[in-house]
Structure 1
Amino acid sequence: MTEEPLERWAARRQGRLRKPGERKAITLGTGPQRAAHVDPDASRMILEWDGFAWQPLMTVDSYAAACLALSPSEGRSADQAETTGPVTGRKPLAPGTGRHRKPRP
């Protein structure tokens, strides 16, 4: 078995690592972390990865505000997020009546 060159291994590893500046939201509440839709009005803490650990960045009041903080490039203001719902970045669902509808291409 031939060994992989160190440079190639390091490049593959670097591609798998989380990039600094990546953000995530956690629910501030009692009990274990659950899906975001379980309590959409609960406060969230936005965390940012600095390359070594998650650092607290800010707190927001709701799931909609957290979505806006996690993807500010959507070009929406906080007022629009509250009136039109959260920004998810997902494609709209295809028409249908089943539970398992596939997103449109």
Structure 2
Amino acid sequence: MDDDESLSAWAERLDRKIGRLRAVPLVAGDGPRGTHLAPDAPRVIQLWNGHEWEPHGFAADLAEARRVLHPDSGAVPSPEPAPKLGPGTGRHRKPQAGR
């Protein structure tokens, strides 16, 4: 909570997080902390209930966990085509107007 933020605004911000999911790898010891580490390790899907993370499901590996956490990512194609770039090989080419 920031000093400038009201208590009601802070509570609303926290309530928006209720229902969030996360995937935690099942590894021995402290294990890897990054989601990209141990991609073949099984994952526990957890749900934030407003006070703590509770078990919600299970995924066999990182790829399945990503499909559970983000079911519609990649399913919808980009609505607008990529801009056409001008000639040249530089990193800083700008899209051409009217092309």
TM-score (norm 2): 0.60
**Residue identity in the other structure for 1:27:** P
Q: For the residues of structure 1 that align with 2:51 and 2:35, how far apart are their CA atoms?
A: 25
Structure 2 gaps of 5+ residues are 76-99
Superposed displacement of residue 17, structure 1: 1.6
Structure 1 gaps of 5+ residues are 77-105
Q: For the residues of structure 1 that align with 2:51 and 2:30, how far apart are their CA atoms?
A: 24
- 1:30 aligns with one of 28, 31, 45: 28
Two-structure CA RMSD over aligned residues (Å):
2.2
Superposed displacement of residue 63, structure 1: 0.4
- 1:14 aligns with one of 11, 15, 27: 11
List per-residue Cα deviations over 1:25-76 (Å, max 9, x = no partner).
1010102142122210000000001112211011111101111111123265
The structure with the larger Rg is 2
Aligned residues between the structures: 70
Q: For the residues of structure 1 that align with 2:61 and 2:38, how far apart are their CA atoms?
A: 9
Q: Which runs of 4+ in 1 moved over 4 A?
A: none
